[in-house]
Structure 1
Amino acid sequence: MSGEVRRDAHGVPHLRAPSVAALFALQGRVAAHDRAWQLEIERLRSVGRTAELLGPAGVAWDAFARRAQLDLLARRAFDVLDAETRAALTAYAGGVETGLREAACPELRALGPAPGRWHPWTPLGIFAVQHVLFGSFPSALFHARARRVLGPEADLFRTEGLAGGSNAFVLAGSRTRSGLPLIAGDPHRLLEDPGVYAQVRLQCIGPGDPFDAVGLTFPGVPGVQHFGHAGEVAWGVTNAMAAYQQAHEVSLRRRGEEVLVEGEPARVEHQRVTVRGATPVSIEVLDTARGPVVLGDSGRGAGVVLDSPAYLLGDLGFAALLPLLRSRRVDDVAQALRAWVEPVNNWLIADTAGDVRHLVAGRMPRRDSEGGIVGWVEPLPNREPGPDGVLVTANDRATPAFDVLTDDFAPPFRARRLGELLGPDRLLDAADAAAALADVTSASSRVLLDLVPADLRPPLTEGWDGAIDDSPGAAWYAALREEVVERLCAAPALAPLREPSPYGPIVEPWSHLPVRVAVSLHVILSAERPFGLDAAQLVAEAARAVRDGEHPPWPQRHRFHPLHALEQFGLPHEPRTPSTPLSGDTDTVRCTAWLPGSEVCVRASAARWVWDLADRDAGGWVVPLGAAGDPASPHAHDQHATWAAGGVLPLRTAWEDLRPDTLEHP
């Protein structure tokens, strides 16, 4: 084996090799040992072949993936890369295949081997899978539908009302005990089993451009992308909420052998989806000058064309991977990110020279009156700390300059709360940063509580500070909010929006009315007569209904529930993870999103990290569950208790303190 693998006490891999190609090959091999099932199911998603393994349950996704041309995009994006990056990706794919031959995988033992093989462009396809539904287009479809139903009142679902959850902040050296900057954050995503992020340390010790970076990676993708600490410089991201994607609802009509999209002939390819245990399914793959038809077909008469920078450019931004790892200063990271395409992200960056910056990176289109891309927004917003030495980004509208990105940011509650917690009255360290990320105080609760008549507020709410925890006040507030959301959803004006999405199950989660009402509740209740209802009267009636009831503690009815891929496809799967009670809420810093009508939490922090520029080992990181995907591994769940409590685990990078791993175990 060209290189060396060691692991810390929680099984996190630390990799060392003499060249980039050898290091990426080793990273691929280790990823296969740790996450074999995850790598293979994500590969199948990227090429639209899940039905070959899973049967009819995979057809809807496979049709979407093929119509979205994820594999073709990955191939095009690979072809435009420089030779060194192509060689590194080729080495990674080869390492994965080696590891898959060696690794144990309970799911594939039960289902059989996954069809197909790894190609050098497969990591780009997996990256595309992670982000094709991450942007704004699924929400845009709901908003367009809401506007058809409600007219201008649909804006109650939009203004500062998108669901967010990611946090990141940077403290300048003037605000830290060490005198050097510190960055911390937590990305908010769907909770998955295994988790969507994997911790890794990558050390290239060969001649030329050596580097030593710790960070988080998507299993199946080499390097570290969104979150990394390369010793002298560190970075982390939040979603900038930018409208870089655009969905165009179009008419589809067949004319002989042609399919007309808005009256213009489309490029048509008929593909066959092989289905395990069932008859193959034929689908139309339609392409237009603007982008692929990702939803709908000519038989339905309507569809959705998706245009985005990645499709227009044939580029997924992987030219940034190696320059990020080799960065030494903030300017190096900024230069690397000139190659970034999408998602358009907020990047917080700091270095040991004391430079601190918040910049937006990615390709943000300028569009004409019909929504077509006519150029790029340049420059994108950037800023430096003010006198308080703090920069915070929490999917919010940081300054008016960010209006070039979208008109629909996340509410400002988390960003404001972090500003309070990081106030200018003291010097902070990594422990303080981690504690800020653990905060569960709700600010948006005041919007609802201020509408409750005084005589309907039970005594148990007196003195409640808004913490969404196991307190009686939090339990009563949660019951009240659920009652209010249910009553709002029953409004006659919203009846059409209670129906499933006309575009099927792929985008249905973004059309679920109770979730849309819940995340926009602070906006809806600020209107005098939302959807024809009297807001004050509705809240009073809801408060009367729940005033004297018995309400279990919030964490007992708000439980950790990561989704295994089989469950995501609607297939039977016995949960193998602890159903842990969770404090926090959709709008708290420790964002554990509420799913109305359910007692599970399926969206929360997919990782938590603290990067200290004075001493990397003074920082910390944690993921839900653990480093290993096999439930039989001692590292499958050994980080979970720390994550659920809002903490981080210490970073340990001293090579002599790590356990050697020969990768010879099954």
Structure 2
Amino acid sequence: MLIRSIVKVSPRSLWPLACIALLTASCSNAPSDLNSVAQQSLATIDGQINVKGLAQPVEVIRDQWGVPHIYAQSVEDLFFAQGYVIAQDRLWQMEWWRRDREGRLAEILGPAAVERDRLARLTKFQGPFDETEWTRYHPEAKRLMDAYVRGVNTYITDTAGNLPLEFKLTGTRPEPWTPETVVLRANQRVVGDASSELRLARSVAQLGVAEANKRAAPDPWDDLKVPEGLDVRIIGEAVLESLRGGGPGLPKPEIVEPYRNLVQRTASAGLPIDLIREIGSNNWVMSGKLTATGMPVIANDPHREVSNPSGRYLMHLHAPGWNVIGASEAPFIGIHIGHNQHLGWGLTVVGTDQADVYVEEVNPANANEVLYNGKWEPLRVVREEIKVKGEAPRQVELKFSRHGPVFHEDVENKRAYVLRSVSADPGSAWYLNSLRLAQAADCKVFLEEGMYWGTPSENLICGDVQGNIAWLAAGLAPVRSGWSGRLPVPGTGKYEWQGFRKDLPREFNPERGFVATANHNIHPKGFTPPLMYKSAQSGERIARILQVIQPGKKFSMEDQQNLQVDMYSTRAEADMPLFEGWKANDEEVESARDALLKWDRKLRKESMEAAVYIAWREAADETVRSAGTPLAARRKLAQAGLEKAIQRLKNDFGADRSQWRYGRMHTRAFPHPFVSEFDLPAVERGGGAGTVAADGASFREILDAGDWDRSMVTQVPGQSGQPGSRFYGNLLPLWAENEYFPLVFSREAVEKNAAHRLTLQPR
């Protein structure tokens, strides 16, 4: 196994990376007083803390990478401690996440956040919070969540006089958590499903069914049909705009006295850190047939937009009946991706269509009634108050039909647009069904527990210590009888969901010895109707993965790592014939053409050829890759595009080709949520769209079922969200060089790598 613990970086990069572990006055842009405020706000991670709410002592060992290993003597104490410890490192992130889900950002950010708050309130889970809701996550989910929020609330109470930096700067105070807080829904993906339907409907109105469907290029192919009773001509841009929640950006929060003069520069708050930018995830599990150890290896790199703090948090939970390690996302309870002593698992997005837009006919005589099965039905109307910083509260009216929230009202055409989403169904809070997976004893049980998975739809892979491997396309998948879900449908009663599918695709110990997914079309041959429709381009990463995983080879852990960071571009491979069969008169262009043909097609950050190719992709006429364009014409377009690309590179980076590095065009930044003084340095990256390495890889895991201590991970930028902590940005240097660190699991390995010890003592 290869885990490189020494990071090799260029001297040019050393100075910012040296500043990452501790942002002090000597190596950050922050004034010394601001650093002092940050340092004073840090949590206690050594020694002993007496806390109210525990039955017995809990030991928290943080290893040298900042991963806490929690050892408790009861399940209640374990989840109490998890809530307490995560709040130590990520309380502001948790507060931001919560306010976004509850529709309360305007309390901090002012009127610019009102529309986002209104949409959040409109689309959030309306209940009921009953046993059906709780038990889909885990038979004892309510008990676990009760303990978890008690831990969070105890930390909030104990640190009320010394909250993390961001609370001080904004004058904000966190409120107590409840189990209902934990199951707040994320609606970005289902809103995305709805937006796709509306965009396709507008395309049909403009181009006609056949041309719109041709351009959409659904995979698998579907002969698009406009639902009976739907008039696509009246679906305007305003309908789509209603789902955007006021746009992509949010203003910076106001810094309160006495800290205002300490902050020299403030950045935009942007959107909450878990807002998804889809950039592609990969996972695979190999049986012992294909691994050097003879035991399954599970690899997963869910690509999410990188952010500061990280969207994920690594943790180890140990108590009677629980021994699980890995990563979770806000609200962070349990482990969402990782392994226990029996099996390891990973996930990538399936893309199951989990939402529909219903176009309801509104009663001309009563705007709060819609037509259903030939009769007028009343809408449920809820009036709420949104508190707005610096202004009087806004009164908003939220309407709901039997199908869900009304997100747009077309007064002229007497139509109401309604979002029907699986998020309105019990047990559909993101990733919380992983509480069941965390206690699975083998891959067969894993598949059974995976059927409880709600949202988002995920390719769940599993490998266990008995040598089994498995895969399930998990997630609530609506049964649509006689319609595809690709376009909005009338809300008349003709187009209703008929429950959820039980025939989800799966595999157990396939003969080929592995399963791999990469957000591609995962439908087995003959599976109908499809769970979703992909685009043709979605198959590039899986094609490369299958190209590498060939029978007869025994893959080492280093091989697994190399595949996760593979930068070979199948797009570039397909484009290279466009540079053959001609020569340029211009010496610079000809030299670039020759270099591209000799290039290894890998998008390395130091590669000049990769820079030229990507610049060409952006500059060339889009018809250059159209199969309908004659090859000779395409080659002329390729030459013209290359000339433009060379000029752009010269304009941006100068005439010296040694400065034409792809990494200069492809960087990832890590700004603090709103204080620029605590920004972490941007880094140059290789990879990109169409490569296995893709664009993000904010987290990677490679799990060895033969010896869990050989497992390795990487995430970015660090475990702590608090500037001044040694674990704020500490993992960025490793990530910048595609390096991993051990995910230590056994008590012996944890002890060898212990950096901080904390005892939570009952009081």
Quickly name the TM-score band, shorter chain normalised: 0.7 to 0.9
The CA deviation at 1:655 is 3.8
Matched, 1:220 2:312: no
2:705 counterpart (613, 619, 638) = 613
Trace 1:345-494 onto structure 2 (pairs within 5 A). 345-368=458-481, 369=483, 370=489, 371-384=495-508, 386-398=510-522, 399-400=524-525, 404-408=530-534, 411-452=538-579, 454-456=582-584, 458-469=593-604, 470-484=606-620, 487-488=621-622
The answer on whether the counterparts of 1:624 and 1:643 sit within 8 Å (CA) in structure 2 is: yes
Alignment coverage as a number of residue pairs: 602
Q: Indicate which of 724, 727, 731 corresponds to 1:639.
A: 731
Please tell me whether the aligned partners of residues 362 and 416 of structure 2 are also in contact (alpha carbons under 8 angstroms).
yes
Q: Write the distance in 2 (CA, Å) between the matches of 1:577 and 1:466.
A: 31
Q: Decide which of 124, 130, 138 is 1:69's aligned counterpart.
A: 124
In 2, Cα distance between equivalents of 1:541 and 1:251: 52
Amino acid at match of 2:560: A
Whole-Å Cα distance in 1 between the matches of residues 738 and 457 of structure 2?
A: 27
The counterpart of 2:449, out of the listed 336, 345, 354, is 336
Which of 669, 681, 687 is 1:578 aligned to? Answer: 681
Q: Which amino acid aligns with 1:629?
A: G
Question: SS where residue 229 of structure 1 aligns?
Answer: strand
Q: Would the aligned equivalents of 1:46 and 1:71 in 2 still touch at CA under 8 Å?
A: no
**Residues 312 and 229 of structure 1, relative CA distance in 2, 3 Å threshold:** closer
Q: Kindly, what percent of the aligned residue pairs are identical? A: 26
- In structure 2, relative to structure 1, the CA distance for the partners of 1:319 and 1:392 (3 Å cut) is closer
Alignment partners' CA distance in 1, 2:533 and 2:369: 34
Following superposition, the deviation at residue 283 of structure 1 comes to: 2.2
Give the letter for the 1:144 counterpart: A
Q: How does 1:37-52 map to 2 (within 5 A)?
A: 37-52=92-107
Measured against aligned partners, the alpha-carbon deviations of 1:182-211 in whole angstroms (never above 9, x if no partner) come to: 000100112221111111111113xxxx22
The structure with the largest alpha-carbon Rg is 2
Distance 1:362 1:538, change over 3 A: same
Tell me the distance in 2 between the aligned counterparts of 1:300 and 1:40. 41
In the other structure, the counterpart of 1:550 is 649
**1:304-358 deviations in Å (ceiling 9; x for gaps):** 4222233144654888444322211111212222221222211111111111111
Counterpart code for 2:304: R
Q: Is the 8 A contact 2:404 2:418 kept in 1?
A: yes
CA offset digits 1:405-460 (Å, max 9, x no partner): 11215621111211222322421222221111011111022344434463256222
Per the alignment, do residues 390 and 372 of structure 1 end up closer, same or farther by CA in structure 2, a change over 3 Å counting? Answer: same
- Between 617-626 and 65-74, report the one with greater CA deviation: 65-74
Q: Does 1:587 align with 2:695?
A: no
Give the deviation of 1:113 after TM superposition: 2.0
2:361 and 2:680 map into 1 onto residues whose CA distance is 45
> What corresponds to 2:20 in structure 1?
none
- Residue 141 of structure 1 aligns to a residue whose secondary structure is helix
Q: Which amino acid aligns with 1:656?
A: E
Given the two structures, how large is their TM-score scaled by the length of structure 1? Answer: 0.83
Name the structure 2 match of 1:630: 722
Distance 1:626 1:372 in 2: 46
Q: Is the 8 A contact 1:444 1:587 kept in 2?
A: yes
Q: Which amino acid aligns with 1:95?
A: G
Deviation at 1:144, TM superposition (A): 3.0
Q: Distance in 2 between matches of 1:29 and 1:341?
A: 27
1:11 alignment partner, one of 66, 69, 86: 66
TM-score, normalization by structure 2:
0.73
Instruction: Write the letter of the residue equivalent to 2:438.
Output: L
Task: Describe the SS at the equivalent of 1:397.
Answer: coil
**Correspondence list, 1:201-280, <5 A:** 201-205=316-320, 210-225=321-336, 227-248=337-358, 255-256=365-366, 258=368, 260=370, 265-280=378-393
Residue identity matched to 1:616:
W
For 1:301 and 1:555, how far apart are their aligned partners in 2? 52
C-alpha spacing 1:163/1:12, structure 2 compared with 1 (3 Å):
closer
Letter of the 1:306 partner, please give it. L
SS where residue 608 of structure 1 aligns? strand
Deviation at 1:401, TM superposition (A): 5.1
Secondary structure of the structure 2 residue equivalent to 1:190: coil
Aligned-partner Cα distance in 2 for 1:197–1:286: 34
User: For residue 501 of structure 1, what is the aligned residue in structure 2?
Assistant: none
Deviations 1:15-37 (A, max 9, x none): 11122221111111111111011
Which residue number corresponds to residue 744 of structure 2? 652
- Give deviations 1:240-291, integer Å, cap 9, x for gaps: 1111222335566775562547975421112221101123222221111112
The one-letter code of the counterpart of 1:634 is R
| Pairing partner for 1:561 from 653, 669, 674 | 669
**CA drift at 1:477:** 0.7
Q: Give 3-state SS (helix, strand or coil) of 2:179's partner.
A: coil
In structure 2, runs of 5+ residues without a counterpart are 1-50, 52-56, 221-276, 484-488, 490-494, 585-589, 651-659
Q: Which residue of 1 aligns with 2:24?
A: none
SS of the equivalent of 2:599 reads coil
1:627 and 1:636 in contact (8 A); partners too: yes
Alpha-carbon distance change, 446 to 141 in structure 1, aligned in 2, over 3 angstroms: farther
Range 627-636 or range 457-466, more displaced:
457-466
Alignment of 1:661 onto 2:720 = no
In the alignment, does 2:329 pair up with 1:194?
no
User: 2-side partners of 1:157 and 1:305: how far apart?
Assistant: 24
Offset at 1:295?
5.0
Partner of 1:98: 154
**Larger RCO (CA under 8 A, 6+ residues apart):** 2
Cα gap change, 1:79 to 1:407, in 2 (>3 Å): closer
For residues 561 and 144 of structure 1, the distance between their equivalents in structure 2, rounded to whole angstroms, comes to: 36
Tell me the equivalent position of 2:179: 120
The 3-state SS of whatever aligns with 1:333 is helix
Given residue 455 of structure 1, which amino acid in structure 2 is its aligned partner? K
SS in 1 for 2:183: helix
Q: Distance in 1 between matches of 2:399 and 2:756?
A: 51
Contact 1:76 1:314 in 2 (8 A): no
